Amino acid sequence: MRLTNIYNYPQWYVDMVSGFLYDPTDGGRRRSDCSATRSINPLQQIVLTRRYGDSVAVDVSDMTWIILGQAAHSACYHAQTRSINRLKRAAKLAGEPEPEDLPALEDRLYVPIVTKHGVFTYSGQPDRICFDHTVRDLKVTSAWKLVFDKEHREWQRQLSIYNAMGYAYGLPVVDKGQICAILKDWQKSKAEDSPDYPQANVQFLDFELASPDTTFKWLQQRAEEIADAMELGDDELPPCTAEEIWAKDEKWAVYKDEKSKQAMRGGVCDTQEQAEAKLEAIKADCPGAYVEHRPGRHIRCDFDPDLWAKHGIVSPGYCKIAPFCKQHQEYLAEQGLEVPEPAEPVLVS
């Protein structure tokens, strides 16, 4: 991934951001073929990232949430380290041995899997593997992730992978997982407007984990799927599902008048007929009321075409590979749109 600086942020900030561009598949202490985090992404996204990832440019301004995510992980790590040291000191003062149920913290784990294509190595770095039968991980993520992905299969899979990796390293097998999701774009007004929207800016999600044996079989299958998909053309790749692209259905919203910044309470409807009926019911009291059509969206695929055309960057980009995706190009074409030719990005040194 390449980095630009279209807003001319100072060099010290650019240097700080650059340090967070680490990719475990690129090298470091040990190379892996795929991280646990990346393995749970849609297959199409994994393959296109391998093909075009080096062509993607991201602006420094879009790395803000990564910095905050790293800060949250760091705070979590140091808080847990203090807790562990406190337990050790308490045991020492009591003349007792150190507790055996202390958690393993943020070690990068590597697990090779033998496939029909050869050895495929996964890597992962869980935030906390606990001996209280729970694997925990912290996420700084979008509230939309929770709105449109109700079952959170990707996170459940990731925690199961961490559990299997811990087992491969001699840690006890656990059966429960928990995600602490810090919602970076949470809005109180949306929480008040919809019970389906997260009601607080931090959510704790609990999962039942798959067994290590089941997970290792999935990892082997996934490695073979990736290898097989790499042999396909871009237009032959399995498309992402509605769940994977965080598909947002089209809606019709009823507003009381043109000055209203939000739709009336209960005024967001699934069909135009429902909206017209609500409009008719309030027309006498609100003569300026009207209906607004809200087109459906693929939230995960959204990016700004103007920034792509002017600066060659993918922004905001939940999926940084969206401009290269045939499925997304076809989706845009259905709306009479297209992906413009990108400018050559001006990269930071």
Q: Does pLDDT of 166 surpass 70?
A: yes
- The confidence band for 188, taking pLDDT boundaries of 50, 70 and 90, is very high
* Mean local confidence (pLDDT), 97-103: 71
Q: Which amino acid is at 31?
A: R
pLDDT score at 129: 65
In a domain, 306, yes or no: no
Amino acid 28: pLDDT: 46
Higher pLDDT, 237 or 148: 237
pLDDT at 27: 43
Looking at the fold, whether 160 and 204 belong to one and the same domain comes out as yes
Give 318's DSSP letter.
S
Percentage of the residues of the chain whose pLDDT score is greater than 90: 47
* pLDDT attached to residue 101: 64
Three-state DSSP at 223 gives: helix
**What pLDDT sits at residue 10?**
95
**Domain assignment of residue 327, yes or no:** no
Token pair of 131 as six digits: 């001996």
Q: Which of 78, 67, 131 is nearest to 106 (CA)?
A: 78
Structural domain includes residue 76: yes
Residue 30: the pLDDT is 62
Considering the domain boundaries, does residue 138 fall inside one?
Answer: yes
pLDDT at 162: 92
pLDDT at 175 over 50: yes
In a domain, 94, yes or no: yes
Q: Over the stretch 272-293, which tens digit does the pLDDT of each residue have?
A: 999 999 999 998 899 999 999 9
pLDDT greater than 70 at residue 26: no
Q: Contact at 8 Å (CB) between 296 and 335?
A: no
Q: Are residues 12 and 151 in the same domain?
A: yes
**HSE (side-chain half, CA atoms, 13 Å) at 155:** 24
Of 265, 300, 305, 299, nearest to 282 by C-alpha is 265
Domain identity same for 214 and 262: no
309-336: per-residue pLDDT in tens? 999 998 866 888 999 999 999 999 988 8
What are the φ and ψ backbone dihedral angles of 59, each rounded to 5 degrees? Answer: -85, 150
pTM above 0.85?
Answer: no
The DSSP call for residue 110 is E
Q: Which amino acid is at 105?
A: L
Residue 348, pLDDT > 90, answer no
Cα(10)–Cα(48) distance, rounded to whole angstroms? 32
Number of domains, the chain = 2
The whole-number pLDDT of residue 65 equals 81
Residues 287 and 204 occupy one common structural domain: no
Could you tell me if residue 219 is inside a domain?
yes
Q: Is the dihedral of CA 186, 190, 191, 196 positive or negative?
A: negative
Mean local confidence (pLDDT), 12-21: 84
269 and 125 belong to one structural domain: no
Which range among 1-5, 112-116, 196-200 shows the weakest confidence by mean pLDDT? 1-5
Interval 261-274 mean pLDDT: 91
The band of 130, judged by pLDDT with boundaries at 50, 70 and 90, is low
Q: Looking at the structure, tell me whether residues 186 and 290 fall in a common domain.
A: no
Long-range contacts of 17-22 (CB under 8 A, 24+ apart): 17/60, 17/63, 17/66, 17/67, 18/348, 20/63, 20/66, 20/67, 20/70
DSSP string, 51-62: HHGGG-EEEGGG
Q: Is 67 found in the same domain as 165?
A: yes
For residues 108 and 255, the model is more confident at 255
Return contacts of 106-112, CB within 8 angstroms, 24+ apart: 106/73, 106/77, 108/24, 108/29, 108/30, 109/162, 109/165, 109/166, 109/168, 109/169, 110/30, 110/32, 111/164, 111/165, 111/168, 111/219
- Does residue 175 sit in the same domain as residue 267? no
- Provide the pLDDT for residue 202: 96
CATH of the domain at 87: 3.90.320
Measure the CA–CA gap between 188 and 126, rounded to whole angstroms: 30
> Which has more pLDDT, 248 or 212?
212
Predicted confidence at residue 315, as pLDDT, reads 81
Mean pLDDT of 137-144: 89
The dihedral through the CA atoms of 26, 32, 35, 39 has a sign that is positive
Q: Do 160 and 51 belong together in one domain?
A: yes
Shared domain for 231 and 82, answered yes or no, is: yes
Tokens linked to 126: 């869980």
* CA–CA dist 108, 103 (Å, integer): 14
pLDDT of amino acid 24: 53
Backbone φ/ψ region at 346: left (φ over 0), alpha (ψ -120 to 50), beta: beta
Q: Are 110 and 254 contained in the same domain?
A: no
Range 27-34, long-range pairs (CB < 8 A, 24+ positions): 29/108, 30/108, 30/110, 30/123, 31/121, 32/110, 32/121, 32/122, 32/123, 33/120, 33/121, 33/122, 33/223, 34/120, 34/121, 34/122, 34/123, 34/223, 34/226
Q: Is residue 261 part of a domain?
A: yes
Asked whether residue 29 carries a pLDDT value surpassing 60, the answer given is no
Beta-strand pair 247-248/251-255 = unpaired
Task: Give residue 103's pLDDT.
Answer: 63
Domain hosting 274: range is 250-295
Does residue 211 register a pLDDT over 80?
A: yes
Same domain, 10 and 133: yes
Supply the mean pLDDT for the chain: 88
**What pLDDT, on a 0 to 100 scale, did the predictor assign at position 144?**
85
- Is the residue at 54 inside a domain? yes
User: In this predicted structure, what is the pLDDT of residue 22?
Assistant: 60
Last residue of a domain, one of 236, 266, 285: 236
How confident is the model over 35-67, as pLDDT tens digits?
998 999 999 999 999 999 888 888 999 888 888
Q: What is the pLDDT of residue 156?
A: 95
Q: What is the three-class DSSP state of 232? A: coil
